[in-house]
Structure 1
């Protein structure tokens, strides 16, 4: 991929080879997972730098950002805020998922600040198969189709999954054959749903290596959302022409996407969640009620603190980019309501 990216003269001879430059981002989560010595983490980061620099010729920017950067504002202690908000999540699985959502938010921040137009994730068929099962167990079935597609254009910087059809074993073998050094992920809690599902899928793979592909193919039969498709005037530009027939164009007549996403995980709202949100908009007395209503049922159950009296402090610790979306939506809704009120007749109006 890197070799093709720097050979612009090749891309001009074939539309099937897109020209692009590559940057590598690494999210440092050591402030949360402090099980490893600091020196060991520094060595791992240095190894990553060496791996990137040893790839094929060409400039490759390396971006290493700690997760607490999302919470830093001026003189505020980002690490303290991160640890505090994570500590308020009682459910281990919810805590693990919350950190995954923060990683994506930080990747978006890195891409925007450095001028990148796409984010490529290393999610492979094995990882997506595990996610399919764990999301089903967590009651996230409605939003599941959004997580198993090649592309997600809802984000400000579109996200693509070029390795979606590759198994983890295939990628490991490729790295071994090409003498590419790999790094082990940080240790994570072993009692969460995600880890239990990973162990289950691993045992299935031992019985039949094709099980992961079977799970993925089953999930792919679910109807994707409009932001999982390429719009007619949009993202065909960065897709190789020989692959374009594999993707559907969005049909505006068939799209039923509500454009309302969960404040925390970014999942589309189901019909029942939309109804709850609409009723809350008219009845909410405090802004905290709107924040809560903008969270999907799964996040409310697994991520929000057990006591409702802790909600206000919890939301105050979240990155501003999350709560600002709700504030802006609430302001627009209030402005529209005022405009409509100007045209309504008073009860004592004579109708003239």
Structure 2
């Protein structure tokens, strides 16, 4: 007995010898998918909207709650990840990708942060494993398989963590990385005070003094975030990685949009919420930017992804207050976070918010294909930017002050003049003596970058007023 294709809405045309049970199942599905069947039969509301066969999962609180079955849910979430990677050229076959874990994660959301990075690592591994299969199956093996590494930044020096918990977290990560093979992935466990490693052996003490020199609680959190990025850049540069993957999702970005606005970072906000951030030496990518925290949590539960949890002390700064505020908004309406991110996404990104398209003076063939596929325009006009030496955020013209008249190149003068208004207000000490002491505690790489940025900002300002300057001959006249 055959299934009637005109009545079966699932398009499962059975063989003539199909059993009566399968035919009955198709008939039931046809009844449940008829127009008006949802009102007559409430069970129709639990069907997956994509496959229309399996029961939809619910209970995780996202905007798609109760819409997809488990398999379609996984495919949908991985599809968001893969589309973000391919459409923004995040990972090329010749790249070496570093997935970054941290021991004292921002806003006290260590559980969420660990899950985000765990899912990011799993998805990167899935892409790498598929590339390896294609490589092995191809005859010419022309496209290499990108490499993957994992780094764990130990921040116990700045955020005290019980040694037993720290050891357990490192053990858990080691177990996770070892299970994701082939290919083999290298694990780097690096203390955050490694930013001082090339200078002296008292890096831990200097780091503690540097953090304690900041009186504002929000400033301490932000300073730790900046030092963490420096540590990640250091590891990536030393071991030859070409991309750094961070676990930022819509939920985290929505909180950053509000907190950055409150802290007066509106000008630099577009730089932090894009898929790609190439202002650093090693570009930073956010492949989970289109995913929600609720979706990440559900995937970890469905697949039993092993995670770890480090206890964090309660925080009382702006970041924590904004996190609680956005969480209340999200509980009232599951689309609030998405609305915040979509609104901020209308801001114009900077030129460094995409992977550099020119390599050795040429545009790679893969980049040309991506431009054609997604109808992208080449980024030919690159406007010069001035950057804060501390947080590396782009500076507005009004913030690049007192650089032309900066005759005394003391560290405190350079630091104060090369800093954004937010860092100047929340991180830098107020009085000159404390500021001088603060500068002596900074890693030498930061001070050197401050001098370099000051010279760059000075040249940029001189170019702006070049038409108003008198030449030597005119001055003599």
The alignment's TM-score, normalised by the length of structure 1, stands at: 0.86
Equivalent in 28, 49, 57 of residue 182 of structure 2: 57
Q: CA RMSD in A?
A: 3.0
Q: Is the 8 A contact 1:226 1:250 kept in 2?
A: no
Q: Give 2:347's aligned residue.
A: 222
Task: Tell me by how many angstroms 1:201 deviates.
Answer: 1.2
Shift of the 66–216 alpha-carbon distance from structure 1 to 2, 3 Å rule, reads same
Determine the C-alpha separation between the residues in 2 that align with 1:172 and 1:122.
13
Shift of the 205–330 alpha-carbon distance from structure 1 to 2, 3 Å rule, reads closer
Equivalent in 326, 330, 333 of residue 201 of structure 1: 326
Q: How many residues align?
A: 337
Shift of the 97–186 alpha-carbon distance from structure 1 to 2, 3 Å rule, reads farther
Q: Give 1:302's aligned residue.
A: 426
How do 1:305-344 residues align onto structure 2 when only pairs under 5 Å count?
305-329=429-453, 344=472
Equivalent in 271, 284, 301 of residue 159 of structure 1: 284
Q: Give 1:126's aligned residue.
A: 251
Shift of the 100–79 alpha-carbon distance from structure 1 to 2, 3 Å rule, reads same
Determine the C-alpha separation between the residues in 1 that align with 2:473 and 2:440.
40
Q: Give 1:72's aligned residue.
A: 197
Q: Give 2:125's aligned residue.
A: 2
Task: Tell me by how many angstroms 1:311 deviates.
Answer: 1.1
* 2:158 matches 1:32: yes
Q: Is the 8 A contact 1:128 1:148 kept in 2?
A: yes
Equivalent in 189, 204, 223 of residue 98 of structure 1: 223
Shift of the 117–55 alpha-carbon distance from structure 1 to 2, 3 Å rule, reads same
Task: Tell me by how many angstroms 1:284 deviates.
Answer: 3.7
Farther-moved stretch of structure 1 (64-73 vs 122-131): 64-73
Unaligned runs of 5+ in 2: 1-123
Determine the C-alpha separation between the residues in 2 that align with 1:180 and 1:91.
37
Task: Tell me by how many angstroms 1:85 deviates.
Answer: 0.4
Q: Is the 8 A contact 2:169 2:310 kept in 1?
A: no
* Deviation sequence 1:267-308 (CA, Å, 0-9, x none): 00012112x1xx333244242212211000000000001322
Secondary structure of the residue aligned to 1:175 is: helix
Q: Is the 8 A contact 1:33 1:186 kept in 2?
A: no
* 2:384 matches 1:261: no
* Deviation sequence 1:145-181 (CA, Å, 0-9, x none): 0011000111111111000001111111112212111
Secondary structure of the residue aligned to 2:329 is: helix
